[in-house]
Structure 1
């Protein structure tokens, strides 16, 4: 006789008990399918984002987009470098502008937030690699499908495009031309509409999965419209003008340099090559030799030298041993003699200058012998011309002998306010010297930079007025001086003092005078200076650094949200139900084989060996189920991806998702399932070791529990349940009777929310404890009655027979339904919420954004007049908070890409003292606003910022105290420190800093482009505009400010868009959780099957004494229905109690119908399973 081996037993056992093993395998398949499918969804989202990055950027690997307009020829010079031709191609000079569009046939159909690209065939065929549609004509525009759909435009339609008119002199400076046109209107005809499936139609430099709004126009036509085209010299304008662009796109010849391991080095290499093609003109700089031949002036077309450029220039000059002297020139309104009774001793619109202490000036800028004493903050040197006009003689000045105060002058000048206002300031100075007009300072027009329209004007009447001027007050002497000396300063001040009055965030000098190096001519010195200056130029600081945009985009494709973890969480109850089903089915199969196991034990098999054989048998089943489940996971993931493209598209914001299963994810899912399912199988087997062979042979599968033990446990459970119910009732009485402050408890949650959640959880726990105590009740009391009532009582008694199984089933269903109902009840619709100071809307009605910055204050009548807005009652009721904007990436939950640098807003000073918006961890206290934290100066030099909780935690993965490194316009290594967190606010996706810090970090950002608009009566008496008035105000603003691309949106709608993602996640959890709960009902059915199998003798006895089969079926059905109904009722009731404050709030958006339908469906399926 052959020896009976474990292997033989295993094979025969698998065949003999195939039906129960198949049931276990199905449970494993479900678990593997859900776990593997969730991991595949994560792979699919990441790979889809990577694919979208390739689509979005097409052939563009590296890009430069700058606030500077550099020569188009610099791109040609870049291409001519040998190293460039070896590794790169497709270089394209481009103009990139934010724009707003309007369809002419319907002046109310507008689109804001559009990116306008001006390019030629180098962009169309080179960078974009797109040849199916001809490039735009000189009078035409090509729209992508998203933009055409919003405008309802088709080829041949006429549209109007508004873009900001470029200016070299910042608009919010004295000479910036605030009164002049700030946007340019282009009337174009639609040449073509790019279909949605055309790659070029979704071209965008911003990492986002959402379809952008894009328009393409002809480069030369756009340059001409914006005064950026090339102009040859003429008799009228002898200066040659070169064509300019503000962007450069480059493609690499190999993927490693384009978006692979060499991409960062490649971008640095391109930046070095681009530097070599630059000239001073690309930086809006020029070196102007002085007519005296003593020095040259480094000055800027911007009228102010940026501090970073001035610092670099001084360092280079020092290395070349060239003497330097900075100058700060300024235009005054009036200079007059103090004490003049005639009222005739004044000079209008004189140029003055701040220079280093004149007494210390050395050659070639000094010495200055006419000074009597140091200038300090209250001294001035006058030109001989102005002193003569005022009748001041050298002997009138204060001297050491006379010790009498010298004559004084009064200087009036404009300061530039934060919102374009021009308040006039005046100061009095003592005259401490008179400078001859042929000396070192006076009479030198080279001290004032060239300002087109001013310094080249022949008379004051020819000036292009930068602000309203009183030309009638200009004297003949003023005109005569201008004709002879032009813009030569008439008065001189100490440079440090002048910087305190007239410097701006853009810089603190208008020019830098450069002397000659030893042994060199001025021409040789300036040539050496220009070469070394361009070599030393900090490309990052001046905004001319080329970035590896495709490489960065692919890095960002890793995403802000781990969809693998997210869907494992969503499917938690499916996984848990599957594992519970495995454990129950294994236990059921083993219990049916109790006599077999007892026989094995009786003939000599040790308990450990029996356990190993059974565990190996179950592991074989689990292994097979895991293999099948992982294969099925691909199909399940496909269904989830389809759901994300359709039902749950609000969670991802795109339909461009593709299924992608990585082997590593399949392996991880397989391993996770194997471990979890094996553990569940072991759990199902573990109790049999405690039973003796005799008990097993008798079919017993559980240890008998003593009545005393049950009674003691019942008492403990009843006492604990009563205490929890007393706690819940007490909390409700206190909250209802005495009220609770509407303040934060922790993590943005109010006390009422926290306490009612405690009530809900306490009620759930108390109900489960009470049920467990009931299961421990006396089983030997007779059941009296007849008919259906008696049958129902008997079914309830049967529910107590297997206490552990009944309690486990009810607890699972109650917990699952609690979470499902609580999550479903948590939906919000902010669109119906009223303004509230301490809420996500901050008491405002609208949020608005403009394409072109607004310099003037929308809140004031003067500001609205300068913006050409008509007078209207609604404007008088309007209050506006205006924010400067440093554009960055969208860090809100609407963007799946990982964010490197979010958009940053400046908080207006008046909001820093307000009580608006709700904070997490910070409360509004009397005399103290959390906004004040933005004014703090941390000892480490970091800049305090605020962010919305969702942005910080889920997009940036930052908390309070964490830091963010931010490249900025002047300091690429600035550090932001999170100082506060807003709760569910309209500021999702951005960071907030004080205006003072913002202007320090980002001086280039002129004007305001983000606005919160409300009713000025709201803070005083709670009044707010009606819906009709609000709509009218929105239309007035959008129509009146159409040239600025002003787009107004209800703040409730903006918050609803943000919450659409959260609400979609809740719907996803509700759906997948419902499936898990459904699967849990099958587990309950399995429990019932176990009970029926164990009670076969009992049921046979019932039939023998006269019970009909239908009555016995109802008996089993009542038992199952009782457990199911109790679980659903306990979970649902506790959840509604926990969410009561939210349910009673205005913005609650509870899906009552679908929720009730889901619970009813689960109940029905549970009954069918029984």
Structure 2
């Protein structure tokens, strides 16, 4: 299913970007693109059967549109497998995924669909490099269009002294009626319609025509004819024993919603009876209704309506043989519009008196009044659309950069700390150089040159690792988006400018960190350097500075939560968590300042461990900060993973309680039987294996789901009778527009404040990440006549099967797209026997190009994309934890080296080895404990929206397990590193 069928000739291949791509096809040969060939294992010379919907000018939703069975098929031999470089990926949709395509000779396809010399797509290219003037091009197309291109024809009606304009769509749309009426004020519109039953005096006349016309167009009608009046011919009057003044009822099928038919009844008063002669007996009153006009006998009618042809009597057959579709009654134009008007129009023919224009000249008079968009011919600039779509809707570079901010800051801080360790180890060397007359500035330059060499080498190594990491990510992403394609789907593009900028920023930040770590050392005297004291030079206490800045971050975090309506809940809570992380680190730094001022009357192991943590406050802050950042990233990212459990069967879930998602290439028009629960798929006895079925119309727009890497500025519109979803209570609204009541649910789509604004629901993921919109925003579309209208997002659905689509009300949608026919998307209730239902649906929809999938699998496929991003970002958080662990190990080793004399003294004065280990353990525990408190606390705020989507006990359990694992892992490795460094440095057995 969903195969693109293109009827082409040699001119098509001239648009290919590659020369020599032309494919010569014989009438009974086709070309297939490589994607379709791989999918069906096709090779050149194989035979294929192609099924497609028979196209037509008249929507099969329309009354009297003919039988709905319209799938035709033909056989052909595969002449050529067309590769991507040979124009095999031609597609008008904004998507990077290939579309299975069959290339059929244009003349053969026109013959198969019985549309010789016709096409529904014209490709035009500009000569040279200049831009195409759309208005000029539209004018040229308009000047070359004939009346038949608009689906119009002219018939001479001599009995009415008029020329009649007819439409292959049967009903005339209002724009055409208006322009003809303006040009020919005496134009008379006519409406002919099929009446199921004329009933009076206990008698019935089945299946007859009625005509609605003004008295100016039918001299036999009274001039003062009113809406309740009806004029009958003598045949009907005799059949029903009618006399003037009697009541006559008419029953007929009326379209109420979508293509749902309802039998309505209207009562009239017989004004008079007329003879069946002259204009009253003219067979031209009835237009060429498909399935009726060409029928030899009335029993052969196939109008696409649920008729009981067994009601037709012999006298009815005789009338058909003698008078064909001559109306048996006439009513006023206004009443006909009221009863028979529909979304396609109100009139079936337009009669222009020959006194105004002759039949010969009428076409020349009409063509200047018509515009290509009246025929549904719209201009699209495919080049501009392709360039706009090529921009990814998700800024992956921005996402990586934002998720890497903590990692970058942590790396720079660790770099500064390590280089400072290096400088401190060489304090005596620097002091000696200063003592022999080398200036501090020169020593600083030497150290900076050393640092630059190290940074340059590490930059080269890092660049190599970055390329390897990027390549790995692309191969990882191919598992989602390649969709079974052979060969690489993504290619790594190394932009020299980007590489240079990235390397330059790395060098600048690293050198800035190195300079910052050395500048204080450079200002110290030679005596101080030679002493190489381990303590940091302490300035004035800055407790309030750190505390006040931390409090400010808390206020900013609170402000982010208050603005969650504009930012979105997830973004607001994550931003709030980030500021709380910074606030927690500042509070920790303020605590170190406070401890440094405190006096301890006795030196317990706890007091000694606490004081040792403030010996080097900058080191302590760096270690705790790096670990806290890693913990924050790992927890907040991991908690965002999406899972589809058993809750998919609940009506409030993302599946709405439905079990099957069914898409067809050709529309299904089987609601016309007026049943409340129509058998769309003709399952027969197997219909009972399915529960409720909710159909959707598929409209204009592109796929805006996470599978589309291109920008879809206008997501695909899908329309349904929202009453069915409202009655079920399916799906969950996360947000609604300002002033709307969330309790109204699906009823919001039926509340239209402006005539050309459609309320719509959209999946929250699509709204935030693809469209970058919020509830209340509007998106501009074009209707089928090229006029702009807007779709307003009035509600956001929680993660659902509708991702990539915008859901609108069917009635409002059809007013803008009256030619849309049938349903191509269905949601069906799950069955106890899922496999049997799935097999039955696949067989039933095969001829329609059906694709049946489980809603649970659809949700899981969407989640797999998000979880893939999360896995990638999880690596960044893991790197943060690795850096934190490395930093903790380095700091502990450095602290032990600086305190070897202290441990020796403690041993000499009789402090037990057990107590020394306890001091070490408490120091490490303090670092890890603060990192966990700050990181976990901030991440808990960041993941609060997750608690509303997943069961709290499940989220809390996973979070608890993760925290315990992080704590145990950090504690184990930090203590092992600390202990090993202590033994190595002190030379004392602990």
Task: Give the TM-score of the pair, scaled to structure 1.
Answer: 0.70
Whole-Å separation in 1 of the counterparts to 2:951 and 2:265: 61
Structure 1 residue 472: Cα displacement: 4.9
* Whole-angstrom CA distance in 1 between matches of 2:930 and 2:921: 14
The alpha carbon displacement at 1:883 in A equals: 1.0
Match of 1:806 in 2: 620
Asked if the contact 1:841/1:1052 (under 8 Å) is kept, the reply is: yes
Q: Matches of 1:1039 and 1:323 in 2, distance apart? A: 55
**Structure 1 residues 1011-1090: aligned runs within 5 Å:** 1011-1015=826-830, 1025-1026=831-832, 1029-1085=833-889, 1087-1088=891-892
2:781 aligns with: 966
Determine whether 1:210 maps to 2:97.
Answer: yes
Q: 1:121 to 1:514 in 2, by over 3 A?
A: same
1:1006 to 816, 821, 824: 821
By how many angstroms is 1:991 displaced?
Answer: 0.4
Task: Give the structure 2 partner of residue 448 of structure 1.
Answer: 286
Cα distance in structure 2, aligned partners of 1:114 and 1:779: 81
Contact 1:825 1:1149 in 2 (8 A): no
In the alignment, structure 1 residue 955 sits paired with structure 2 residue 774 = no
Identify the residue that residue 554 of structure 2 maps to in structure 1.
none
Q: What are the residue-to-residue correspondences of 1:305-324 with 2, within 5 Å?
A: 305-315=172-182, 318=183, 321=184, 323-324=186-187
Of 646-655 and 299-308, more deviation after overlay is shown by: 646-655
| Offset of residue 1088 of structure 1 | 4.7
Conserved? CA contact 2:892–2:977, under 8 Å: no
Call closer, same or farther: CA 1:494–1:674 in 2, change over 3 Å. farther
1:360-759 aligned within 5 A: 361=216, 365=217, 368=219, 370-371=221-222, 373-376=224-227, 378-383=228-233, 385-387=235-237, 389-390=239-240, 396=244, 406-416=245-255, 418=257, 420-434=259-273, 442-475=280-313, 478-516=316-354, 521-524=358-361, 526-533=362-369, 536-539=370-373, 542-585=375-418, 587-588=420-421, 635-649=464-478, 655-662=488-495, 664-666=497-499, 668-669=501-502, 672-673=505-506, 676-677=509-510, 680-681=513-514, 683-684=516-517, 699=532, 702-704=536-538
Q: Structure 2 matches for 1:70-85, cutoff 5 A?
A: none
User: Hey, what does 2:734 align to over in structure 1?
Assistant: 920
> Is 1:943 matched with 2:943?
no
1:636 Cα deviation from its structure 2 partner: 4.8
1:438: Cα distance to partner? 5.5
Alignment equivalent of 2:36, drawn from 144, 147, 151: 147
The 1-side partners of 2:656 and 2:692 are apart by 13
Matches within 5 A, 1:11-26: none
Cα pair 1:845 1:1052 within 8 Å, conserved: yes
- Asked if structure 1 preserves the Cα contact closer than 8 Å seen for 2:668 and 2:680, the reply is no
Alignment match, 2:193: 330
For 1:749 and 1:126, the matched residues in 2 are separated by 45
Q: Contact conserved, 2:18 with 2:86, CA < 8 A, in 1?
A: no
Q: CA deviation at 1:665?
A: 3.5
Partner of 1:183: 71
Aligned residue for 1:911? 725
Change (3 A) 1:749 1:1104: closer
- C-alpha separation in 2, matches of 1:980 and 1:963: 12
Q: Is the 8 A contact 1:1084 1:1120 kept in 2?
A: no
**Per-residue deviation at 1:335?**
1.8
Aligned partners of 1:1135, 1:1052: CA distance in 2, in Å?
Answer: 33
C-alpha distance 677-127 of structure 1, shift in aligned 2 (>3 A): closer
Q: Which runs of 5+ in 2 are unaligned?
A: 552-564, 982-990
Residues 867, 291 of structure 1: alpha-carbon distance in 2 compared, 3 angstrom cutoff: farther
Instruction: Give the structure, 1 or 2, with the largest relative contact order (CA under 8 Å, sep 6 or more).
Output: 1
Classify the secondary structure of the residue corresponding to 1:646. Answer: helix
Q: Choose the corresponding residue for 1:166, options 55, 58, 68.
A: 55
CA drift of 1:1154 comes to 11
Give the TM-score normalised by the residue count of structure 2.
Answer: 0.82
* Deviation of the 1:528 alpha carbon: 2.5
- Root-mean-square deviation over aligned CA pairs: 5.0
The CA distance in 2 between the partners of 1:1156 and 1:145, in whole Å, is 51
What's the secondary structure of 2:658's corresponding residue? coil
How has the CA–CA distance of structure 1 residues 625 and 766 changed in structure 2, closer, same or farther, with 3 Å as cutoff? closer
Deviation, 1:967, is: 0.7
Task: Give the 3 Å change call, closer, same or farther, for CA 214–1100 of structure 1 in structure 2.
Answer: farther
Listed one character per residue, the Cα deviations across residues 995-1035 of structure 1 (whole Å, up to 9, x for unaligned) are: 111111211211111111225xxxxxxxxx44xx1222111
Q: CA deviation at 1:220?
A: 3.5
1:1082-1101 paired onto structure 2 within 5 Å? 1082-1085=886-889, 1087-1088=891-892, 1091=895, 1095=899
The aligned residue for residue 693 of structure 2 is: 880
Where do residues 768-779 of structure 1 align in structure 2 (5 Å cutoff)?
none
1:274 equivalent to 2:141? Answer yes
Q: Which residue of 2 aligns with 1:349?
A: 207
Q: How far apart, in 1, do the equivalents of 2:724 and 2:336 lie? A: 29
Note the 1:60-209 alignment, pairs <5 A: 100=1, 113-124=2-13, 127=16, 135=24, 138-155=27-44, 158-178=47-67, 180-194=68-82, 198-209=85-96
SS in 1 for 2:96: coil
In 1, the alpha carbon distance for the partners of 2:152 and 2:966 equals: 70
Q: Where do 5+ consecutive residues of structure 1 fail to align? A: 1-99, 101-112, 229-241, 397-405, 721-743, 785-791, 1016-1024
State the secondary structure of the residue aligned to 1:987: coil
Q: State the 1:799 CA deviation.
A: 4.0
Greater CA drift, 883-892 or 216-225: 216-225
- SS of aligned partner of 2:694: strand
Could you tell me which residue of structure 2 aligns to residue 104 of structure 1?
Answer: none
CA-CA distance at 1:867 after TM superposition: 4.3
> Is this contact kept in 2: 1:147–1:213, CA < 8 A?
yes
Kindly tell me the number of residue pairs found equivalent between the two proteins: 949
